[in-house]
Structure 1
């Protein structure tokens, strides 16, 4: 597994950050411009990645005010797990976003940069929206 991480700190209570992330409808606001045709419910989302293909994801598990795990809802080009981990420290919520991707050597060369940029972009957007 190849792991990509990004973290941020948000001056909001943990339940507010968790509430935003626990609803997949809100995740569209975290996505870059190359994500198109977004369709979502509270638990699932499907979308097209420009020049790459369609992806369907589902929230696999929720641990209230701690963690949200997202997995593919249909067969992806490679195994994938997305995880939002939250912790509260005094007056702010620390957020760690992790993308675990099972990439072969060729896919690793092609996808590592875009996946790290995606992780960083999503945490930056989360901070901008909730600040």
Structure 2
């Protein structure tokens, strides 16, 4: 299953955005308002939203100034969430989120709508940075 967030333009350089996403504490700033748990532990963070199980994301990959990829800590639900950062101008960048997961068809059907809403909310909040 692949979910692509809306590309958003941010008035920050690629390097500023890369550094923002590299600090996992900053992910709390782009989470949905109704988040009820957020804890950073080294290269991972745990978050909880109402009606969903808590999810731990681990920093999987960093490509300086263009990509940060997070992945599920649990192998039960393997997925990644990548933030791709493109330069528009010196202090203007474009960010697009891409969620990729391997789920059975029944699970994919159940979680596609809430995950799409989650990725869209993250994208929207990145646009407000």
Q: Is the CA contact 1:23–1:43 (under 8 Å) kept in the aligned structure 2?
A: no
Point out where structure 2 has 5 or more consecutive residues left out of the alignment. none
In structure 2, the residue matched to 1:64 is 64
> What stretches of structure 1 of length at least 5 have no aligned partner?
none
Classify 1:100/1:10 alpha carbon distance in 2 versus 1 (closer, same or farther; 3 Å). Answer: same
**1:29 match:** 29
Counterpart of 2:87 in structure 1 is 88
Determine whether 1:116 maps to 2:120: no
RMSD: 1.6
| Counterparts of 1:90 and 1:56, CA distance in 2 | 34
How far off its partner does 1:14 sit? 0.9
Contact kept in structure 2, 1:23 and 1:42, CA below 8 Å = no
Which residue of structure 2 aligns with residue 3 of structure 1? 2
Partners of 1:43 and 1:104 in 2: CA distance? 28
Aligned residues: 127
SS of the aligned residue for 1:83 comes to: strand
TM (normalized to structure 1)? Answer: 0.88
Q: TM-score, normalised by structure 2?
A: 0.89
